[in-house]
Amino acid sequence: MALLTLGINHRTAPLELRERVAFTPERMAEAFAELRATTGASEAAILSTCNRTELYLAGDDDCAQAVLRWLSGFHGLEVAELESAFYIHRDSEAVRHMMRVASGLDSMVLGEPQILGQLKDAYALAREHGASGVFLSRLFDQSFTVAKRVRTETAIGENPVSVAYAAVSMASHIFADMSKNTALLIGAGQTIELVARHLAEAGVKNFLVANRTLERAQTLAEARGGRGITLSEIPGVLAKVDIVISSTASPLPILGKGAVERALRKRKHRPYFMVDIAVPRDIEPEVASLADVYLYTVDDLHTVIEENVRSREGAAREAENLILAGTQTFLSQLRALDAVATLKQFRQRAEILRDIEIEKALRSLRNGSDPETVLRGLGRGITNKLLHEPSVQVRKATAEGRVEVTNWLRELHQLEVQDDAVSPTPEKI
């Protein structure tokens, strides 16, 4: 059983490609069913965020190309469009990669904590659809354990650095006193919740939160003294806000150029600051062409993010050591798991041979045979049956020059090495 990670991220693919490969919640059930049925993957999990789409798999070692073809077809792309941006990690590298992702070391913002929650959601979704088995379950659990150690034993999370934080930092360069500004947050997930917290810390007092579900919008908004609205109400309030930050899972844009143009006329061209964190994008790219609109996407946040990353580089080196140790621990557990399965099969075979010999002995006793003779025959029969096939295979391996098999036999049974140049001829078994 091979472990594989396949995907694209912010380092290998531009936003335009990442948004075409993103999975919407509505198609997850279909994706899990097709992925396992057509690619040779017996276990699967899908992580889809604004910065990455990754597939975590347990299955055939040669299923990578089948997965690439499936992923391309599922999203209506040509394989060639994905190949140059696609990466594949196998076994130990797949383990290390997931732990780096969970710990925030592979994120655009080094050490950002949101990815751990997103990875936990991906695992929960895989379990919900019956796609995660013993191998991926153990991998996710170990990755979460390592990520927790990284968070608590290093300084990688001390400074509030994230995509949300970077977005708010950019807003502070445009508005000198943010206490006078009104913010419209579109979406009500963890990223928007974090944006709201950073905006409040930056001085923003007036909040509107728009979401498909009004109840969730109200809950998040009221926590900051704001008001929740539905997505359909956005055009009516757009002229009254100064900051728009959006992060939803909508497959289509929520805010279009026409709506922003109408709002700008009402605002007498007072500037807008907008950040679209979503993939696929929530705000039409054409909005950026309007005067008095400063529109940024996740890819535009690189400058702010790179400045903040430098403060975390020392902690990242410590984190890498924890991840290396965590990878080795997991691989040891995996090898032990394989040993358990092999030993179970070995014991079952031994018990079958034992039962056959016992049944022969019982028949002899019922027929009046001498008990001592029967017991001695039982012992010989069990010994011969258990040792016959291993003896044949050891002789064969030794004749082929694979002397390590004999060495393993000595180690397993704590046998002393013969001093004689030629060992005595063993009794025929």
> 9: closest CA among 127, 105, 78, 129?
105
Q: Give the Cα separation of 133 and 69 in Å (integer).
A: 23
Concatenating the DSSP letter of every residue in 100-145 gives HHHTTTTSSSTT-SHHHHHHHHHHHHHHHTT---HHHHHHHHHHHH
Helix, strand or coil, per DSSP, at residue 156: coil
* Tokens at 308, concatenated: 């903040």
* Tokens at 368, concatenated: 């009046």
User: Of these residues, 21, 46, 50, 260, which one is catalytic?
Assistant: 50
Concatenating the DSSP letter of every residue in 25-92 gives GGGHHHHHHHHHHHSSEEEEEEEE-SSEEEEEEEE-TT-HHHHHHHHHHHTT--HHHHHTT-EEEETH
| 263, 177 contact by CB (below 8 A) | no
82 phi and psi angles, rounded to 5 deg: -95, -30
Distances (CA, A) of 397 to 13, 159, 408: 50, 59, 12
Q: Give the Cα separation of 379 and 354 in Å (integer).
A: 10
| 168, 181 contact by CB (below 8 A) | no
| 327, 99 contact by CB (below 8 A) | yes
Helix, strand or coil, per DSSP, at residue 375: helix
Query: Would you call 50 a catalytic residue per the annotation?
Result: yes
> 343: closest CA among 403, 412, 416?
412
* Tokens at 264, concatenated: 């700008």
Name every residue whose Cβ is closer than 8 Å to that of residue 144 and which is 6 or more positions away in sequence. 102, 116, 119, 120
Q: Please list the active-site residues.
A: 50
